[in-house]
Structure 1
């Protein structure tokens, strides 16, 4: 029986059916690849979350204050007779700074001394007469009172003369001289500033949440823009007894030794207070993804797919972030490569044989294409 010859139209339909079958088979093979949906596994680096020793720091800003600081002023109205210092001098406690004119007080002192001497001589004569019972004891008592009053007058004038010499109340560095010989000064006139810079202190605010982490004796480090690259070591000397209800912060005072007098009153100092070492759940800071107000990491499932996990971050120090909620010790997270991940996506560890195979297949396809 003779065979029927297929028409060209039937041949074209058969060819299309074969090609469709081959395309469906290729798609099925692609769906069975890593990651599902035909998406290749992302090459990333991962780490296992663990509890580690952690030292974080409390940072704040404070203003430098001298250990002792005062504006030197006069107590009386008088003309300046002599100035014993220059601007910027370092003086010891009790050093004379300014001498005021005291001619009237010197004359009054001479008269008072003469009166006191005469009263004393008179008292001695009357004591001799009283011993011979030639005068009444009341007369002797009156003369003794007169002598004592004259001596008190001498001491009063001597005190007034002492006020004519203005002395440094403590050792320190003098500021700019603001008086000259011949000038009339009055009580309250500033002669110069005096600061004891051998040590300084800084008061700075700390949030009340850190109250349990601050104690007297803790070490502290300060830095200033005036001395870049140089740190100043100090110690906490006082923790405030009250919390400000407006700012919810308390005041802390730290003392700094200042032998070179590099720190000056009024300077802004950035301080870092190191907290006591504790155990914390730490992750590399680059593993933490921040999108708006959401903070999360990518956690790796046992089947090497990833999921987004919302976490709470505490302190951050030296590239490490403290996780206070959201992760547990032993969780495996993605560190590098988070930018190319999506929830549910597959990953492969960089440097593993799977990552090398993927890279080799790409090269072969490129050379064969």
Structure 2
């Protein structure tokens, strides 16, 4: 008996459909883990330059010939210490003359005071004596200032730089004597992108590594940030502070700066759980005992984890092993995962 071809085709299709249904109903064993939420890290690396917390270029206030040099290059000087003395013979004589005139004016006014009650002097003569004394005192003070200007003193304590000034040199107010730096602490200035402006603020911390000592990492406190954003580079200047009590570093040295900021919270899954197809990347979530495809975009990677841009809630079970053998809607059977070390995630201390 011959079976019609159309009937045979129907039987074959029915058998295939039954076999497909069996495959869909047949579960596969997989390993699943709950999703964790981790803050996305934003790493900023820059080059910083050190500068002294206080620095001054020293110039003489007046012209003159150098009579004494009272410092050596690189030495530490105290605030107010005499560094350079200029020829001051004329100023000393002028001060002595002013002091004599003050003494004369004081003696004259004293005599006026003694006979004031006798009526021998008018009130205007007494006032003239007082005015003469005040004028003499002003001349004395001016002479003292002129003499003080012949000595260049340290405005604050610090280390003095090299100098080309020698005894006998003629200097003017435009002659650089030396530079004075207070370097027990150093500022390290660097540029940061506008994107971290809300996270990199005074009170925060960055890591700096000196180029001269690449094996040394220093935690630097952010002291201040610039008040404006540089328009062309879309960045701003950040000033951090490091200790230099051992005097290891110098102003002008270069430092590598690194800042790790915590950004948006994202679903974190093992990289092996992400599958790729013609439609892009996705993961399989376990819902009601079945595998459900969830489209994702990988925002970043860290320590073997993929941080996802996706609608995945914390605690959602994600297939992490056996993902290549599951299909959309397929029943899954969960097995206990093998123990593996947890990913170590470095986080910045809360500020």
* TM-score where L is the length of structure 2: 0.71
Q: Secondary structure at the match of 1:182?
A: coil
Of the candidates 294, 298, 322, which is equivalent to residue 307 of structure 2? Answer: 322
Of the candidates 56, 74, 77, which is equivalent to residue 63 of structure 2? Answer: 77
Q: Secondary structure at the match of 1:213?
A: coil
> How is 1:18-57 mapped onto 2 (pairs within 5 angstroms)?
50-54=35-39, 56=41
Of the candidates 234, 255, 259, which is equivalent to residue 269 of structure 1? Answer: 255
Judged with a 3 Å threshold, the aligned counterparts in structure 2 of structure 1 residues 220 and 147 are, in CA distance, closer, same or farther, namely same
Q: CA RMSD in A?
A: 4.0
| Deviation (angstroms), 1:151 | 1.2
Q: Secondary structure at the match of 2:142?
A: helix
Question: Partners in 2 of 1:248 and 1:276 — Cα distance?
Answer: 20
Q: Secondary structure at the match of 1:246?
A: coil
| Deviation (angstroms), 1:237 | 1.8
Where do 5+ consecutive residues of structure 1 fail to align? 1-45, 291-295, 336-340, 345-351, 353-369
**Residue 96 of structure 2 is aligned to residue 110 of structure 1:** yes
**Greater Cα radius of gyration, structure 1 or 2:** 1
Cα contact 1:74–1:188 (8 A) shared by 2: yes
Question: Partners in 2 of 1:261 and 1:319 — Cα distance?
Answer: 41
Question: Partners in 2 of 1:134 and 1:67 — Cα distance?
Answer: 65
> How is 1:221-236 mapped onto 2 (pairs within 5 angstroms)?
221-236=207-222
> How is 1:19-168 mapped onto 2 (pairs within 5 angstroms)?
50-54=35-39, 56=41, 58-61=43-46, 62-168=48-154
Q: Deviations over 1:31-68 (max 9, x none)?
A: xxxxxxxxxxxxxxx98573244473542322112100
Which residue is equivalent to 1:362?
none
Q: Secondary structure at the match of 1:233?
A: strand
| Deviation (angstroms), 1:276 | 5.2
Where do 5+ consecutive residues of structure 2 fail to align? 1-30, 328-334, 336-351
Question: Partners in 2 of 1:90 and 1:178 — Cα distance?
Answer: 18
Cα contact 1:60–1:204 (8 A) shared by 2: no
Q: Secondary structure at the match of 1:281?
A: strand
Q: Secondary structure at the match of 1:190?
A: coil
| Deviation (angstroms), 1:193 | 0.9
Cα contact 2:296–2:308 (8 A) shared by 1: no
Which residue is equivalent to 2:165?
179
Which residue is equivalent to 1:210?
196
Farther-moved stretch of structure 1 (275-284 vs 63-72): 275-284
Q: Deviations over 1:298-319 (max 9, x none)?
A: 74688xx9x99662424x5556
Judged with a 3 Å threshold, the aligned counterparts in structure 2 of structure 1 residues 71 and 319 are, in CA distance, closer, same or farther, namely farther
Judged with a 3 Å threshold, the aligned counterparts in structure 2 of structure 1 residues 131 and 58 are, in CA distance, closer, same or farther, namely farther
Which residue is equivalent to 1:34?
none
Structure with a larger share of its residues in helix:
1
Of the candidates 166, 174, 179, which is equivalent to residue 193 of structure 1? Answer: 179
Farther-moved stretch of structure 1 (195-204 vs 181-190): 195-204
Farther-moved stretch of structure 1 (140-149 vs 123-132): 123-132
Which residue is equivalent to 1:24?
none
Question: Partners in 1 of 2:171 and 2:230 — Cα distance?
Answer: 42
| Deviation (angstroms), 1:214 | 2.4
Q: Secondary structure at the match of 1:178?
A: coil
Judged with a 3 Å threshold, the aligned counterparts in structure 2 of structure 1 residues 232 and 301 are, in CA distance, closer, same or farther, namely closer
Q: Deviations over 1:214-254 (max 9, x none)?
A: 23212222112111110122212223333233222233222
Cα contact 1:57–1:272 (8 A) shared by 2: no
Which residue is equivalent to 1:365?
none
